[in-house]
Amino acid sequence: MAPLRGAKRRKRKPERALPAQAQAPPVPQPLAGDWWDAFSRRLAAGQPSKQCQNFETAFKMLRRTFDYLCSLIKGDFTKKTRSFRNFKFGDKVILGVEDQVGVALLRLTTGESLMSIGTRFGMNHSSISHITWKFIECLEERATGHLKWPDPEEMATIKAKFEEIQGLPNCCGAMDTTHILMCSSAQPNSNVWLDGENKNSMVLQTVVDPDMRFRDVVCGWPGSLDDSCILRTSGFYRLCQKGSRLAGQMELPGESEGPTVREYIVGDPSYPLLPWLMTPYQELGLSSEKVEFNKRHAATRTVVQGALANLKERWQVLKGEVWRPDKHRLPRIIYACCLLNNIMIDLKDDMRDGMPASHNHDDGYRQQVSSVVDDDAVTQRDLLSRYVSRLGSRLPK
């Protein structure tokens, strides 16, 4: 994953590295009558509410996922935020880890203002902000193992799943970008954040796997840059161009000369056609082979469209206009939400199911089109086109 623009990372201690996902520590089971009883009452501001009484509805995740987050960051979070207290009911009780994680998640899941959340809990907005940022910092330090480029064994599984979806062989991911809108008054006297739709925005570029898990994230670039430009400035692009990523070859069965196809990802027409980045055919009067390829290509891209729509729907802080964003902090908010998305997938949290109804994550934005075409990529795309056309009805369309 490329570094986030504007992020000021602290030095990490080796002993704090997150263990492999398969070796994640068991999540402690919640105790009956624990902190949630009191927290839900504060959340309802003293009024009974079925929505606030339901943990999964309030946080959009299972309790075991929440407990995993608490166990993951408990040491740092307790030490760094131990001075925060809640005065809502005059109890002057030091906020526990669960309370602080709950407050931070409410900020991210609801997108409510700091003032609104602070009013519920009898805290000023600066305290809510500080707790949220400590939570994000801890995720950056302790949860990065949940967002990484696949190792060879994982990649073999990913390629098999993509081929099973729509028959595209040696496909390693799907790429897309989305705009995170910002309040127009946030960047006075500057048009750098003004995008093609006359909106102030920051761009997120990502590659996802067939399970909608984010595998590479680039965020922080202003909306005035198009998708192709953001791709070329990314570390992901440099790694692929020099052959350090997506360099594996595969022989296509059924071809008389035994041609090979390089590992690749799929992307929409806003990206250049490259040997490791397959885009759809754009010319008119396409042959039946090319039409078939475009249909399967579009169906494969739905995984990244769904992932980005899900990201904005679940983490409402990214939906609509972000109020007075800090261009150095907003990339870290985006990254933290991507981490949380992956954690829910890794923990098989079924609260992700059924969201969202639409895959349109950039409503109101016109399709960009790149005219950059690599000759070797043209040859590879034609090979793939002939291959998938022979599959016929053996795969769903």
Read off the pLDDT of residues 150-206 as tens digits, 9 standing for 90 and up: 999 999 999 999 999 899 999 999 999 999 998 865 555 568 889 989 988 999 999
| Structure confidence by residue, pLDDT tens digits, 91-143 | 455 678 899 999 999 999 988 888 888 888 888 888 899 999 999 999 999 99
Find tokens 């940022």 and name the residue.
Answer: 133
At 2 the pLDDT is: 52
At 350 the pLDDT is: 86
What is the 3-class SS of the chain, one letter each residue? Answer: CCCCCCCCCCCCCHHHCCCCHHHCCCCCCCCCCCHHHHHHHHHCCCCCCHHHHCHHHHHCCCHHHHHHHHHHHHHHHHHHCCCCEECCCCCCEECCHHHHHHHHHHHHHHCCCHHHHHHHHCCCHHHHHHHHHHHHHHHHHHCHHHCCCCCHHHHHHHHHHHHHHHCCCCEEEEEEEEEEEECHHHCCCCCCCECCCCCEEEEEEEEECCCCCEEEEEEEEECCCCHHHHHHHCHHHHHHHCCCCCCCEEECCCCCCCCEEECEEECCCCCCEECCEECCCCCCCCCHHHHHHHHHHHHHHHHHHHHHHHHHHHCHHHCCCECCCCCCCHHHHHHHHHHHHHHHHHCCCHHHCCCCCCCCCCCCCCCCCCCCECHHHHHHHHHHHHHHHHHHHHCCC
The Cα 347–Cα 21 span in angstroms is 9
Amino acid found at 354: G
**Which neighbouring-strand residues pair with 219?**
204
The Cα 123–Cα 88 span in angstroms is 8
Cα–Cα separations (whole angstroms), residue 355 to 57, 62, 68, 188, 314:
13, 15, 22, 36, 8
Measuring CA to CA, which residue among 171, 230, 232 is closest to residue 205? 230
**Inter-residue contact 101 to 52 (CB < 8 Å):** no
Low-confidence ranges of the chain (pLDDT < 50): 3, 6-32, 46-48, 81-91, 396-397
Cα–Cα separations (whole angstroms), residue 246 to 8, 250, 277, 292, 301:
29, 11, 9, 24, 18
At 21 the pLDDT is: 43
Amino acid found at 49: S
Angle between helices 97-110 and 35-43 (to 10 degrees): 40
Burial-class residue 285 by CB neighbours within 10 Å (0-12, 13-18, 19+): exposed
The Cα 129–Cα 113 span in angstroms is 10
How is the chain split into domains, by residue range? 29-142, 147-394
Query: HSE (CB half, 13 Å, CA atoms) of 7?
Result: 23
Angle between helices 330-346 and 125-142 (to 10 degrees): 60
